[in-house]
Structure 1
Amino acid sequence: MQMRPAELAAIRDGEVDLAFRRWEQPRLRVGTRMRTAVGLLEVTSVDRVAVSSLSAADARRAGAASLTALRQGLDRVHPERPVYRIGLRYAGADPRQALRESVPEAAELDAISAWLDRLDRASPAGPWTRATLLLIDELPATRAPDLARRMGRDTPAFKQNVRKLKERGLTESLDIGYRLSARGAAVLDHEGHRRPGPGRPEPEPGTPLPHLGAAATRALTARGAVSLERVAELSEAEVKEMHGVGPYALRHLRAAMDAAGLTFRDEAERARPERAITAGVVADDLPA
């Protein structure tokens, strides 16, 4: 069940708890938990409904602008199929996040290596696990089609393989491409693989960008804003003008900057005179 980043964020924040889809038959079951970019979503209900029975409250709970907009959206694709109302709730962080950050002990590293060996033996295309991990380590934040081409694989097959590695916490998906997790790096080091050394460019210092979507990430990266500190060198207007940076990306960018104690350049400039005046008043009030 595909959902836009803004929909996922609204469910996580408790603003949306319904979705509507046209399906030939139900594709989800009550109790199913789906891994998404914002964490786990749980299906709380799946009911077939008539379009004529939908209400304005349904539209609000689904995040639609109006009941008319909800109905028009459902009629846009496969209008001959029945409509299902899916109840959804945020069920917490993705457990793979903690797994990615954990460095296994030697016995667990041996077990992971044995699992990778089994994947290699079962692959009709030959061994691929270590080559994929090493390639992601060498080329983080690189488009999947470009990585697949380097591996001599088609993109869907390459992505399927990476998902297997991600399930074990060895890789992490980015808005563009992937990166090796601390757990994945520990596996390669444990096995003695040669990883990129001093010739590899140093990672950009600063606070990483949050998940904003591929289009917004590309736009910021193209301007050199590859960290929140670099974003803070831009004005809000400059960021808004970038193609691909919409309300969702801007909202999450601002939230991440607030958490890091950063602001856009124009906001910082407006705040300086106020701080100077306040400092002057305090100084004047001090006894000689």
Structure 2
Amino acid sequence: MILKEAKAYFLTSLSEQYGREETLSFFYLITDHLLGMSRVQVALELQKKLTIPQKTMFTAAVSQLEKEVPVQYIIGSTNFYGLDFQVSEQVLIPRPETEELVHWIIEDCKNRKKEKKIRILDVGTGSGCIAITLAKHIPNATVEAIDVSEGAIEVAQKNAKQHGVAIRFINQDILTVASLDQRYDIIVSNPPYVREMEKKEMKGNVLKYEPHTALFVSDNRALVFYEKIAALATQSLEESGNLYFEINQYLGQEMKDMILGKGFDVVELRKDFFGNERMIKAFRK
């Protein structure tokens, strides 16, 4: 098999399921992962002969994609805010809207005094994408991260080591925490927020393979994680501290009312690139 034939095999096998453009994006991701070749290199070397192991890996990738396995799990990594992160079925695949939340925090921190240490807590860290990216881009930050999943903590630790940042990871269920043992300048969280009723809106690859404990909450307790984290933040945020959340796009006003009810003076609701209410910042005057 040559590379041109592998490309044709992807398109024939997957275009009906995913469409031509998404199928091609999968092909280029797999090619980069397996062969270390960019799109330009692929275009110039379509006659490249594949070894038997390489052919087997291409065939296996198509088989997994036919079963709706996310391509990020197949290659074992994804890009987030310009950084490569290892991912597995132990963690959610980072989304672009989370990048927007991280960018908001980084921009806000540019206005803080550079000589002052900024203590940051990331609740529900998953792959560690939020905590690690903040540690990379905020030089004066000290970062801690909590997750209930031991598997997620292991993935996050590998990512922190890969990117050369020191983060204190804590394996803990935030819902069982009575109080935090430190005070923080920033508390950030992208907790489970998809209601059971919204499962019908989710793609099959998400429902089948991404960890449900990191995604879903019951319909009648949709804000359970936010309520707990906001309550802890009222005790453990510094007076000038900020609380940041990624939120369910359908629950912006409910979130705003809840956070104000916890004692915060200002709650800023921000839309993502797609126009959905997806991020919140809260602080006290």
TM-score under structure 2 length normalisation: 0.25
Higher Rg of the two aligned structures: 1
TM-score under structure 1 length normalisation: 0.25
More strand by share: 2
